[in-house]
Structure 1
């Protein structure tokens, strides 16, 4: 089995959209020119990276790393990881762990002083995964507001 963990490129749009449909099936479908424009913005951004696990040409897993600039903590940025998903057919192979580890290493390489991750309160299995790669709960408390 050929596998690579890498930063997404322009040709990965359809694969990432398919993964996001598994993650959030109720979301409106992003298509056509708008999808290509938004994807191009993400790929070209110095503040956003999408990491993918490519298994024999099939995008099997992904996570997004946002690099947030700051003048706190010695003007070091902080990272936020979101949208961690592995296709159902590829689960239980360690791919989520690999994309997360890649994202965390990338955040450290970019000088981040911390990396944060929010997860649905009920996703206990995912929480175990996050703890296994070094995330700890009980240090800070996350809050979310949605329109």
Structure 2
């Protein structure tokens, strides 16, 4: 396993940088198909919600990324919420996810946040292990209701 600080973390902000993340994003969000729509969606989230996207590349390939934002809630106050954390299957087990989690932890501290939150599908056991090994706890259940 690589040490958690062995790769440079990139700030993703331009349309071409965002587009370069699509293949990696698709491993977590396979419904994201259209590159132009993907870029527009991320740009909208960046402008609307202060969404940040950081990534690790090996060569010219984005192999891991994290998308997150600062938010304030009545329950927890000012927090960072991680929307997406994904590592390409071919690069899992190398500490890249942990490196990105540490990066977000530091961002949260620097911005006066006391906690970092995320949701994870119940079936993502390998991801849960990474979160637990990085100090996350199972804090609540997240309920969803689809509206027609």
Provide TM-score, normalisation by structure 1: 0.80
Deviation at 1:71, TM superposition (A): 6.7
CA gap of 1:126–1:72, structure 2 versus 1, over 3 A, is: closer
In the alignment, the residues of structure 1 paired with residue 124 and residue 39 of structure 2 have an alpha-carbon distance, to the nearest angstrom, of 31
Specify every segment of 5 or more residues in structure 2 that has no aligned partner in the other structure, as ranges: 1-5
Q: 1:3 aligns with which of 3, 7, 12?
A: 7
Deviation at 1:45, TM superposition (A): 5.9
Deviation at 1:121, TM superposition (A): 0.7
Residue in 2 that maps onto 1:99: 100
- Describe the superposition over 1:61-102 as per-residue Cα deviations: whole angstroms up to 9, x where unpaired: 0111121135776xx521111221111222221111111111
Is 2:20 the counterpart of 1:37? no
Instruction: Tell whether the 8 Å contact from 2:22 to 2:35 is kept in structure 1 after alignment.
Output: no
Specify every segment of 5 or more residues in structure 1 that has no aligned partner in the other structure, as ranges: none
In the alignment, the residues of structure 2 paired with residue 12 and residue 4 of structure 1 have an alpha-carbon distance, to the nearest angstrom, of 15
Residue in 2 that maps onto 1:108: 109
Q: 2:29 aligns with which of 20, 24, 36?
A: 24
Instruction: Tell whether the 8 Å contact from 1:3 to 1:56 is kept in structure 2 after alignment.
Output: no
Q: 1:59 aligns with which of 49, 62, 71?
A: 62
Provide TM-score, normalisation by structure 2: 0.79
In the alignment, the residues of structure 2 paired with residue 81 and residue 144 of structure 1 have an alpha-carbon distance, to the nearest angstrom, of 17
In the alignment, the residues of structure 1 paired with residue 123 and residue 74 of structure 2 have an alpha-carbon distance, to the nearest angstrom, of 34
Instruction: Tell whether the 8 Å contact from 1:79 to 1:112 is kept in structure 2 after alignment.
Output: yes
